[in-house]
Amino acid sequence: MRIQSLSRAGLVALAAALAVAASVTAAAGGVEAGTQSGAVGPVTAAVPTASAPCGTGAAAPQTYAHVAMIVFENKPLKKIVGNTTDAPYLNSLIQACSYSKNDQSLSATSLTNYVALTSGYTGCKTANVDGVCTTPLEITSNKDPKTWPQASKSIFELMGSAAVEWAESMPANCSLSSRGDFVVNHTPYQYYTRTEANLCKSYSRPFPSDATQMLSAGFNLIIPNKPHIMHLVPNTTVAQRIRNGDNWARSVVPLLLNSSQYQSGNTAIIITWDEGNKSNFYVPLIVITPSTQARAVSSVAYNHYSVLKGIQQMVGPTASPLLGHAGDGAVNSIRDDSVFRLKP
**Sequence-separated contacts (24+) of 7-14 with Cβ below 8 Å:** 7/255, 9/258, 10/254, 10/255, 10/258, 13/49, 13/50, 13/51, 13/254, 13/255, 13/257, 13/258, 14/50, 14/250, 14/251, 14/254
Domain contains 147: no
Domain contains 219: yes
Whole-angstrom Cα distance, residue 54 to residue 335? 16
The answer to whether residue 39 scores a pLDDT higher than 80 is no
Domain contains 39: no
- pLDDT, the chain, mean: 90
pTM listed for this prediction: 0.88
Q: Compute φ and ψ for 341, nearest 5 degrees.
A: 55, 60
Strand partners, 192: 150
Which pLDDT score, from 0 to 100, does residue 278 have?
81
Which region among 29-43, 96-110, 188-202, 293-307 has the lowest average model confidence (pLDDT)?
Answer: 29-43
Whole-angstrom Cα distance, residue 42 to residue 169? 48
**298 burial level (CB within 10 Å; 0-12, 13-18, 19+):** buried
Which pLDDT score, from 0 to 100, does residue 170 have?
98
pLDDT band for 43, please (50, 70, 90 cuts): low
Domain contains 170: yes
> Are 41 and 10 in contact, with CB atoms under 8 Å apart?
no
**230-245: pLDDT as tens digits:** 999 999 999 999 999 9
**44-94: pLDDT as tens digits:** 788 899 999 999 999 999 999 999 999 999 999 999 999 999 999 999 999
Structurally, how many domains does the chain consist of? 1
Whole-angstrom Cα distance, residue 305 to residue 343? 18
**158-206: pLDDT as tens digits:** 999 999 999 999 999 999 999 999 999 999 999 999 999 999 999 999 9
Whole-angstrom Cα distance, residue 87 to residue 247? 8
Domain contains 244: yes
The answer to whether residue 134 scores a pLDDT higher than 70 is yes
40 contacts: CB under 8 Å, gap ≥ 6? none
> Are 125 and 315 in contact, with CB atoms under 8 Å apart?
no
Whole-angstrom Cα distance, residue 305 to residue 120? 6
**273 burial level (CB within 10 Å; 0-12, 13-18, 19+):** buried
Which pLDDT score, from 0 to 100, does residue 30 have?
36
The answer to whether residue 157 scores a pLDDT higher than 50 is yes
Domain contains 248: yes
Domain contains 231: yes
Domain contains 234: yes
Strand partners, 126: 135
Q: For residue 262, give its domain range.
A: 8-21+50-110+155-277
Whole-angstrom Cα distance, residue 304 to residue 310? 10
